[in-house]
Amino acid sequence: MSLLKRATISDVAKLAGVSMTTVSRVLNKNYPVKEATRIKVEKAIGELEFKPNLLARGLIHNKTQTIGILTPSIENLFFSEVVKGIDSVMKERGYTTFLCNTEGDPKQEQRMIDNLKDRSVDGIITINPRTKNIKSGYYQTLSKQIPVIIINGYNRGIQCNYVLNDGEVGTLEALKYLYELGHREIAFLRGQFSYSYDVKESMYKQFCKDNHLEFEEENIIVVEDGNGPQTVEQSKALVEKILRENKRFTCLFACNDWMAVGALNAAKSLNISVPDEFSIIGFDNTIISQITEPRLTTVDQNMTGLGQISGKRICELIEDKSSGNKKIVIETKLVKRESVAKACR
Amino acid sequence: MSLLKRATISDVAKLAGVSMTTVSRVLNKNYPVKEATRIKVEKAIGELEFKPNLLARGLIHNKTQTIGILTPSIENLFFSEVVKGIDSVMKERGYTTFLCNTEGDPKQEQRMIDNLKDRSVDGIITINPRTKNIKSGYYQTLSKQIPVIIINGYNRGIQCNYVLNDGEVGTLEALKYLYELGHREIAFLRGQFSYSYDVKESMYKQFCKDNHLEFEEENIIVVEDGNGPQTVEQSKALVEKILRENKRFTCLFACNDWMAVGALNAAKSLNISVPDEFSIIGFDNTIISQITEPRLTTVDQNMTGLGQISGKRICELIEDKSSGNKKIVIETKLVKRESVAKACR
DNA sequence: TTGTACGCGTTATCAC
DNA sequence: GTGATAACGCGTACAA
C-alpha cells in the first residue's frame, strides 16, 4: 500500500507562486486577496487536492471542532437515540464526535474523560453518568475546565449544566390515565439503583395518597437490573408470581419498556389477555414498544429531542464560556397504544 | 468559567530544572535517563498535573491513535453491537473512535470519510456501506490512501479488506433444521434491495431444488423496507395475508429478526399458535429475539465478534501497511429457542 | 546521560 | 495586498 503524502499549504504556495500566508488567507477568507491571485491559489489547491490538516489548526486555536459523548451502553435503545439527536445537531454545525462507552463504570468514565481532554475536545456530553461522579463533585470541577452537559443525572447543590426529562410529570400523567380508566389497584415495577426510579416511585406513592388508594409494600415490584434483555426475563418471572398470587391488580406501571415487555410476556404465559383483563403501561417509548403485540402504551421521553437540545446547549457553552449553569427540563408525552384499556372489575 | 491553561512540557522542564528533551524521555521511556532526574521530572509532572497534548503528538507522527467508524444507522441493534465489538478492541489498544452516522446516504458517506481524513485518523471501518460506493471503486481508491475495513459489503473484483458473515451457510443451516423437523412448505420473507437478501434467497431456491420441494413464486414474500420498526408492521400485514389465503405453509424463514417479529405478531393476531401450529425462524440474533414470547429461534451473526475481528484487522493494517487485502468470513450459528417445533401436518 | 535546535502544518503578527 | 517569521506543543537528530 503506497500512501502518498497529502499536499500541505506550502506545496500549494510553491505551485501558485505565492506565500503560505496568502494561501491561508484564501482558505479562511479573513483578509482581502486580489482576485487574480485568489484564482491562482484556488487552481493550485484543486490540482494538489489540498485539504487543510485539522490537527495543526487545532494546535493553534486550541479548538478542534470535536466533542466527546459518554454513554454507559451503546446497545441500549434509549442511549443510541439520544446520541443520534446530539449527532444531528453537531454534524450540522461542523463538529465531529468521539463516542465513548463507559460500560457504566465510574472509573472508566473518568479515564475516558481524561482521554478526551488530552485530545482537546471542545466539550463533553455525558449521558446518565454515574451518580457517584456527580455527588463527589467530579463533574462540578470538570465543568470549570471544559464545557460539560449532563443528560439525565441531577443533584441539588452540584452546579453543572443539566438537561433532563421530567420523570415526575410523566409518571403522574400515566397514573392519571390509568385512574381515569377506572383502575384502582396499580402495581409498580421498577429497577434497583437509579435516581430516575426513585423519582417515579415517590411520585407513585404520592399519587396513591392523593387519590385515597390503599398503598401496600407489595405493590412495589423491584427487578434487579434495569437495562437490557435480562430485565425482560426477570420482570416476567416477578410479574407472573404477582399475577398468580394476587388477583386484585388490574394494571401495572413499568419504569421502562423492557420491564413492560416482561410484564406482557408474563400475562401471555398465564393466558391473561392484555389489555382486556390486565393493562400495562411502559416508559421511554423505545422502538420496542412499537413491536410488541399488543403495542405498548408508554411515556415518550423525546430522546432525540433531549439529544438535540443538549447539542445546542453545548455549542452555546463552547461559544460563550461565561454562560452560567442551567437546568433544562424536557416534557414527556403519553403515547396511547393498545396495552391499556378500561378496568374490567 | 475560568479555563486555566494546561501545563506544557516546557512548564514541567522549568519546574524540574531540566530540558524539554529530558521530560520527553521520561514520558516516552525511549532513552536512558538518570534515576534521580527521572524522579525530579515525575514529581514536576505530578505537581502540574501535566498530560501530553495528543494533537501535537499526532502532528509529528502523523498518527493519532484514532479511527473512524461509519454506520448507516446508530439506532439499529445490529450496527450498535458491531460498533461495541470494534470499540472494545480499539479501547484496549489505546485507540479512540469517531463514530459517524451516514444515514445510508452515499454522498454523506464520502463527506464523512473526507472529514475523517482531515482529522488524520489512522484507519476507517465502514459498516454496511452503500454498494454504490463499493462498485464505483471509491473504496478501492480510498484503501490506497488509508487502511480501510469494509464490514458486510462485498464485491468480486473490487480489491479491499472485507469482513463479513457467511449468510449462505447460515441460511442453509436454518433451512436444514426446519427440514429435519418435518417442514416441507417453507415461506421465505425478505426485504427489497440488499445483497444479503439476494444471497439468502438464492440459497433458499437452491435448497428447495436439492430437496425436491416444490417451489412457487408465492413462497417469496417481499417487504418494502428492511430495518426498523416499520418493518415489523409491514411484515405482519403481509404474513397475515399469506396465512389466511394459503394454509399449506407450516413455517417461515425470515431474513432478519424484525421480520420474524412481524410474522410472530401476525400469527398471534390470527390466533395461530407458535410454534405448535406454525414455526418461525429469524436471522441476526439481535436482542429482540430474546424478548418475544415465544423467544425466537434465529441465526446468530456474532455481531460483536464481527466488530472485534474488524478491530484487530484494522490494527494489523495500521501497523503494517504493506499487508495485502483479505476477505475474512465469519461463521454463523443457529440459536435454538422456542419459535420452531416439529411440523404438525 | 543531557541539552540545542529544528520540524510537523497551520495561523497570527508585524512589516513592507 | 502580500510576505517573512514566530508560535501552538511535542519528538528527535545531533552535539556535547
Query: For position A24, which CATH number holds?
Result: 1.10.260.40
pLDDT digits 0-9 by tens, A145-200: 999 999 988 888 999 999 999 999 999 999 999 999 999 999 999 998 777 888 99
Specify the pLDDT at position A293: 85
Q: Is the CB of B25 under 7 A from strand D?
A: yes
Residue A130: which domain range?
64-165+303-330
Pair B113, B139 in one domain: yes
Q: Is the CB of B27 under 7 A from strand D?
A: yes
Pair A152, A226 in one domain: no
pLDDT digits 0-9 by tens, A115-141: 999 999 999 999 999 889 999 999 999
The gap between B60 CA and C7 C1' (Å) is 8
Q: How many domains does chain B have?
A: 3
Specify the pLDDT at position A1: 42
Residue B57, domain member (yes or no): no
The gap between B23 CA and C4 C1' (Å) is 14
pLDDT at B107 over 50: yes
Quick one: cell of B107?
A: 454522498
Specify the pLDDT at position A345: 59
- The mean pLDDT value of chain A amounts to 92
pLDDT digits 0-9 by tens, B260-310: 999 999 999 999 999 999 999 999 998 889 888 899 999 999 999 999 999
Residue A151, domain member (yes or no): yes
pLDDT digits 0-9 by tens, A85-108: 999 999 999 999 999 999 889 999
- From the list B116, B268, B322, which residue is nearest A293 (CB)? B268
Pair B296, B184 in one domain: yes
Helix A77-92 vs helix A303-319: crossing angle, to nearest 10: 40
Pair B134, B110 in one domain: yes
Q: How far is CA B179 from CA B175, B185, B197, B202, in A?
A: 6, 9, 21, 17
Pair A150, A84 in one domain: yes
Q: Do A144 and B101 touch (CB under 8 A)?
A: no
Residues of B in contact with A55 (CB under 8 A): 55, 58-59, 64, 119-120
Residue nearest to nucleotide D8 (CA to C1'): A60
CATH number, domain containing residue A295:
3.40.50.2300
Specify the pLDDT at position A321: 67
**Who has greater pLDDT, A193 or A216?**
A216
Pair A157, A83 in one domain: yes
Residue A335, domain member (yes or no): no
Residue A28, domain member (yes or no): yes
Backbone angles phi, psi at B271, to 5 degrees: 60, 35
Specify the pLDDT at position B2: 42
Backbone angles phi, psi at B344, to 5 degrees: -100, -5
Pair A245, A174 in one domain: yes
Q: Is the CB of A21 under 7 A from strand C?
A: yes
pLDDT digits 0-9 by tens, B21-80: 999 999 999 888 898 999 999 999 999 999 999 999 999 999 999 999 999 888 778 888
pLDDT digits 0-9 by tens, A278-335: 999 999 998 889 888 899 999 999 999 999 999 999 999 999 866 789 999 999 999 9
Quick one: cell of A210?
A: 392523593
Residue A68, domain member (yes or no): yes
Quick one: cell of B271?
A: 390466533
Pair B231, B313 in one domain: no
The gap between B88 CA and D12 C1' (Å) is 33
Residues 45-104 of B with CB under 8 A from A: 51-56, 58-59, 64, 66, 74-75, 77, 80-81, 83-84, 87, 91, 96-101
Q: Do A119 and B287 touch (CB under 8 A)?
A: no
Q: Give dist(CA B239, CA B222) in Å, integer.
A: 10
Pair B21, B136 in one domain: no
Mean pLDDT of A15-32: 92
Confidence of residue A4 (pLDDT cuts 50, 70, 90): low
Residues of A in contact with B74 (CB under 8 A): 80, 83-84, 87
pTM attached to this predicted model: 0.89
Per the rule left: phi > 0, alpha: psi between -120 and 50, beta: everything else, A146 is beta
Pair A206, A293 in one domain: yes
Pair A113, A156 in one domain: yes
Pair B173, B294 in one domain: yes
